Chain A
Amino acid sequence: MSSWKKHVAVQLGHEMEEKINSLPAEIRLRAEDRIHINLHRQNPTLIARIELFLMLIGPGILVMVADNDAGGVITYAQTGSIFGLGFFIPFMVLMLPVAYFVQEMTVRLGAVTHRGHAEMIWKRYGRFWGSFSLGDLVIANFLTFITEFIGITVGMSVFGIPRYISAVIFVSLVIVIQLFLRYYTWERVSLFIAAFNLVFIPLLFFLPHPSVRNILDSFATWQVNGGVSSLFIYVLLANLGTTIAPWMLFFQQSAVVDKGLTKKDIKFGQRDTIIGSTIMVVVAIAIIILTGTTVYGSDPTGSLGITGILQLFADRVGSFPMELFAVGLVEAGFIAVIAISASTSWAISEAFGWRRSINLPAKEGVKFYLPSFIALVIAASITLIPNAPLGYLNLTVQVIATIFMPAAMLFLLLLLNDRGVMGDMVNKRWQNAIGFTIIGFLITMNALYGLSVAAPAIFNHLAGVL
């Protein structure tokens, strides 16, 4: 018995412990975590309060760091290499409050209803929209898995590890983490892996001539280097898609539920989400600066894949920084596969009413774990196919995420305005105003993308004018 469990047994008595042991596995483990939190809440010392904060944070940081996934890192790297230090740096800063407002709603929804996003849509809006949201999520998650394995295998190849070996290693690691770690440990291990996402920040010190002035100027001018072209719209949409994506809503809400957060914990969930959003944006900007300073000018059409970008990066700053970049890329893919795999498992099980929790032991949670593992294996195998258009596929995944995001956001806002579900925790007016502005912005951007596909000549003309 672990020391804290002994402590709990002494505090609550052995009869109580027996009662808790009689609960189903997933609730029992959640109850044990909650006892721990309960005891810390009653302890007024500063250390206990800090420990309580550290215990209650997790889903927000995890979702945001996992959103800086391999696909995201590749997108930011391509963004910097195509457009340099202009428009996209202030744009990413603008994405911080957007990401926060969207994800904060999932914290409240999860803590109040104790139900995941998929289940809420299914039960509240019926089978059609339930299956649409689930289908959209599962397809997008599957495609995202592919981009994660692109990142992992490319990153590992920098260290001379063949692609198929990297794929086998990381599929196995994810399966072990999901199957054998229970929620609290799973979350802590995932946060430890997520910490490596910060590797991109110290990399900035390796840049030979970082132009702080150019970075600051970008906030004043929002200059689009190369002008507004269909490529610009496409990359803009991809950046939007890698900052807010449907899987993030499903993931954080289900994680809040699985962690057992209650209405009392909402403020911790909000702080958790602010910390996560800040980390996400700082890392994204660091990556744009890294390639915008070193590779920009060599890839005006976006034809360079991540391998080409890494090669040029190594030529300009040396092989050690490039290897650190590769470590970041591998980590980004790894943490995202863990998070997206959990999100897939939660959503499918919520929709079909299966038992669902990372707390479920492997034997009792076959239905819960299996679908995402199958998707994982197939996605990893696809990345091993020679000459697959992986670079373009990566941008397309982000674009697809942006296209489906207004639908996901609409359900989120409907649920957050549903008094029958949220009681007095419904959205305030200003929160709705922000939410609907974000939906409007997403739809406008998607319409521009549609226009760039249907009539690219318009944007080619704009590129010459702006």
Chain B
Amino acid sequence: MNVETSFDFKHKFIEDFTLFDSKRVNNSSEFVRNLRANGIEQFKALTAPNRKQEEWKYTKVTEIINKEFFTYASRLEQDKIDLSPFLIEGLEAHLIVFINGRFSERNSSDLSALKGVQVGNLENVLQNNSTSVEKVLGKVADTEEKFFAALNTAYFEDGLVIQVADGAIVDKPIFCLCLSDASQGNLMVNTRNLLVVGKNAQVKVINANYSLEDSAFVLNNQVSEVVIAADAIVDTYKLQMETDKSYHFDYTQIHQQQSSKFSCNTITLGGKIVRNDLNYLLQGEHTESFLNGLYLTEGQQLVDNHSLVDHAVPNCMSDEFYKGIMAGNSKAVFNGKIMVRPDAQKTNAFQSNKNILVSDNATINTKPQLEIFADDVRCTHGATTGQLNDEAMFYMQARGISKEKARKILLQSFAGEVTERLELEVMRDYLNQVIEERINQL
């Protein structure tokens, strides 16, 4: 651990901030400037993640904070890009594209006249209709103790904004494609996303991340603030598919109001270092919360899934189901915290994390963390880590299936237990295929 270099990373962004902020004075509201100023103050007060911090015990970021990243916005968003490698066959969706964190109108669908939902980019919303998002932006995410998220608050410029009206059922999923282009050098992208869903509304949102060009490194630093009103049903997907020249940080904070249902499905197949912080705050009773995750890692990848489900009120149900297959020298971390506050009687909370190591050099650190302060609750959790089941392998071989094929079938069926939980059928089919290809290469 080199303390001096971590100081450099921090120092650079503190130094650069004055210039960054002053360049944007004319285009920014007081609200945004205050938010940024608050972000940089939080960032100043924080130490870069290191392994002495409990939350970063197994996730080393030295190689990230040793690198210099620029925050300039490439003009590439003007180019028309062949998106076919990133699209999902059979998926009919409203497409919105961001390149290096900036909205690319040319590559997006026409989003101007959607029924019951406004889909746009944050920069534009802040300039034209700032009040609609001021109740959410910076109010939901708690970045005070989050180094990268605080940096995002200081440096964000753009992001995806979805506002669904009360009672609206959005006709097609919203597919947000985030592409990175590092052709001009190491790049840090700070995307700020907002998802605000009105009462009794329904929407599905996909956030897919890919590397377009990876001659240098990209630090994809996203913060999402999500507010789900009463009785709304929302299904979201995060596809983390970048190359191993990408570092991906995602902090998503969800506020769920009564009788709403929210699912977040996090699928991580790419990225050199990926850290997800997925936090739910259950504010109203009778909510249902789903957290599904699948990570397939190889080479030198590190994927860290942290989650928090905060049962602040009674009668809520949460179900967390994460599975991982680790190959090569890769590492994975799972840390799932379930908090049941003293008032949160009749809480039903489930958590499961299962892992298969297909290489002797791969590792997993899994830690369920239950903090229960109510007495009438039902919480179950379990974590398993193992190799492929020898008995199952032999059973298949005894039916004439080769060892190699048996292994693939077992890994696919293992991963399939996550994909079968996904509600979007085309997504399920697409991912099963991608997973099959990946497993065939392991």
- The answer on A and B forming one complex is no
Contact surface of A with B, Cβ cutoff 8 Å:
none
Contact surface of B with A, Cβ cutoff 8 Å:
none
